A and B are shown apart, each in its own frame.
Chain A
């Protein structure tokens, strides 16, 4: 470790070690220890509820919101869309394992044939393309509703994202997602980690910042601010915009790799989507 790096680590208050080159499982363990150390009173599965895990006032409002879950209509719409056949008579169920029911925990995964990360949302459009249907927009609308229904059928299943050790391309995709998460960007010069790791639990204007752990358990989300249901990549775009970085295309390679890393960090937590947030 050279002096410059040592100095850097002191300044940002983190210890520099093998972190940049550690494997996925080591990354996940370190992150888990970091947050459980920082929030010793929060039970592990509670991290799936974002900032409501440790902000009591916001939590009360959220529990009230959940009395009449604002995403329920999206689940119903999504089920209807999911079950209506394509023009060729086939349906979504034909594209997925187990007819598409209870399978969200498998996503994102690295598709060895394609050589890329496939998110559930990408897979929905791949299914449409395979059946000569037009792609749906990725951030809101019908695709988000279908995703909401598929999440609903997967509630309670444990996230189990895999980075196959025998596939260097899969590891490279994971690494690129990890790099994205730790890279400063935008006019404000922030990384994802600046807010959600370093400043987790602190207030940023009206919001208490949630933890990386649990960031991938509950999508899509009905946000009061959006007034509709939106996918994880909509939230990511918004977090880019907050620091005055121009968002990338939804489902771009970078965003998919980021989602791969982010979801891996939540391995072992139970899916609880769709969810509501303010």
Chain B
């Protein structure tokens, strides 16, 4: 989590788009021994946290829907990869909201 946070802060000063690459690198490898159901539940929970912070990214819910479909179709690796990516996105969105809760002030125009 700490690593992600550092990443996002760094991201804020680089060109946009850097967040995108990182989240798409979420792979089943991260999942270790967890089952799809566990990862899906964790992703939903992370999304609920981001939702409560009124800061959801636009593709996260779609990723979760796709994960569900892939799982139902028996494409388990793909399902796990999608749910992992959704979870990562939701976590990054939460960190973004937390970081921004104060950082926005540094951006306000003043003379």
Contact = CB atoms under 8 A, between A and B. Distances in A.
Interface size class of B (residues with CB under 8 A): 20 to 34
Most buried by B among A9, A16, A34, A197: A16
Interface in B47-67: 54-61
Nearest to A4: B106
A187 B54 contact: no
Contacts of A184: 12, 96, 100, 103-104
B57 A248 contact: no
Interface in B27-70: 54-61
Interface residues of A, number: 42
A278 interface: no
B interface, over-half SS: helix
B18 to A, nearest CB: 8
B4 interface: no
Contacts of A190: 16
B4 to A, nearest CB: 13
A186 B57 contact: yes
Nearest to B24: A187
A22 B111 CA distance: 11
Given A240-B58, A244-B20, 6 more contacts: A12-B106, A34-B109, A179-B104, A187-B57, A189-B19, A246-B58
Interface of B: 8, 11-13, 16-20, 23, 54-61, 89, 96-97, 100, 103-111
